[in-house]
Structure 1
Amino acid sequence: MSQEVATLSSKEVAEIDAQIRQEAAALKDTLSVSGNKLSLKDKQFKLPDGTILNGPLDIIVVDWSSQNQYYAGAYDPNNISSPDCFAIGKDPKTLVPDASISAPQNGACEGCPMDAWGSGQGNGKACKNTRQVIIRLPSRPELFTLSLPPTSLKAFDEAMKSIIATDAQPLQFIIPISFHPEKSYAQVIWGEAQPNPEYAKDYMLKKNGTTGELLALKPE
């Protein structure tokens, strides 16, 4: 049997795309909404089940949001608590405290004294700015949440902007991520994007609301 890849007509490609969309729509019923987090601790990519994946790690960025988190007290690893104030949204410039916050630090994150440089340790901010990124690994069907720390935001934003500038969506690509070799902390850097052959499935996960549900989860 020949293993050569057949040349498909435009009609056949359209039929395959339609089938992909149909199968992707069914995926929503097989995916549970949870905080399935990919950890970056100790400069290792660690899955919720404890599996450690060596980098560079190929990922597909399906969706993301901006999230700010403010804790009034010092971090205690033995007593994890919810933030005293937090905000979730697409545009970091228009974030406002979540409606569930009883004592917001400010009416909006823009102009909040806790979001100002120098309000935290050293010259940092008291409020932690993050990107909550919904990703998928090419070899796995489930979605994971990747929480990028402040030191990784610039590289992430630049990587996404470079793709969007071509009138494409990041989910149409597989991107390798790794850790900056010269940093002692987990600063994520982004490699060269390659086409994602299953982008239609990932697009449907975004369109049908699955990623939106994950991004709406409140920080713990």
Structure 2
Amino acid sequence: MAKAELTTVENFKIVTGMEAMDEELRAELEDELDDLDDDGGIDAKHIKIPSGGGKAFEVETDDPDDPEVMKEVTGVIIFTHRMNAYWAQKFGEAGEDGNINKNPDCSSMDGKQGINRETGEIRTCDTCPYNQFGSDGKGKACKNMRRLYIMMDNRPDIYLLTVPPTSIKDVNKALKKIMGQQHIPYSRMIVTFKLNVVENADKIKYSKVTLEKTGLLPEALYKTTAELRKAMKQSYESVAITTDDYKEAAPMEATPEVGPDGFMQAGDIQDGELPFD
């Protein structure tokens, strides 16, 4: 069967918000911004997944109390990385000190090596007992997630979508299939994210993130996104993991489809798929 070709979307725009400015004013503004302290990391607005089986994303705006509700999010993935986070206390419950700790007790920005927040101890994620199925009942005590940094059409902001454990496998499989079979870098793909409402074995409804290909960026814009990706890759590790990344929607269960390597997204590579790390 012939593979469906992706169409180049000529009217898709990657913008910074400074395009319409006078060149002299723009140069002065950029120079003065360099005078300010560099906080590091990536300044991004969050795309939140609703709990309880909601069908629309909540997209952060300049007013944090008034998010934009979107049933679909279409854009280009500028950068992505997997990560792990372990909280000793259950999600939403207070710890021994009576406080709800948003920061994980142990976290990994690459899904390979984790660092204990209190002791500085480094653990290998693949062999860590908290990263094994059954360590938290049916699922893992350590939560495997993936961050996606996205730019939407004609919007200067970076948006951060954290894919939860319940959606990692499907999102990674979709990306690997496009990259492996059609040989398209993810930073050139225009993709659309949606939410499907599903139930787990305990009849708990939750929202599962799905991804489908929409089109291709023009060649000139791809050069821009490729450069942005390189810049983000140098600074992403300074963006702290908190409970805002992980919202417990449904407990994960081990299935025959999930391999023993500790990551749902590792999976079996078929039909020319590329490993998506």
Q: Could you say whether these structures have the same fold, taking a TM-score greater than 0.5 normalized by the shorter chain as the test? A: yes
C-alpha displacement at 1:195, in angstroms?
A: 1.0
C-alpha displacement at 1:79, in angstroms?
A: 2.9
User: Alignment length, in residue pairs?
Assistant: 187
Mapped contact 1:132–1:215 kept (Cα < 8 A): no
1:34 aligned onto 2:56: no
Q: How far apart in 1 are the matches of 2:223 and 2:118?
A: 37
1:71 aligned onto 2:87: yes
Aligned to 2:60: 48
Paired residues for 1:1-220 under 5 Å: 33-42=42-51, 43=54, 44-49=56-61, 50-76=66-92, 79-89=100-110, 92=111, 95-98=112-115, 102=119, 104=121, 107-120=123-136, 122-165=137-180, 166-183=182-199, 184-197=205-218, 198-207=221-230, 209-220=231-242
Equivalent position amino acid for 2:195 in 1: F
Mapped contact 1:34–1:214 kept (Cα < 8 A): no
Choose between structure 1 and 2: higher helix proportion: 1
C-alpha displacement at 1:65, in angstroms?
A: 0.7
**Is the alpha carbon distance of 1:107 and 1:181 closer, same or farther for their aligned partners in structure 2, counting shifts above 3 Å?**
closer
Any unmatched runs of 5+ in structure 1? 1-22
Secondary structure of the corresponding residue to residue 200 of structure 1:
helix
Mapped contact 2:151–2:159 kept (Cα < 8 A): yes
Q: TM-score, with normalisation over the residues of structure 1?
A: 0.74
Q: TM-score, with normalisation over the residues of structure 2?
A: 0.60
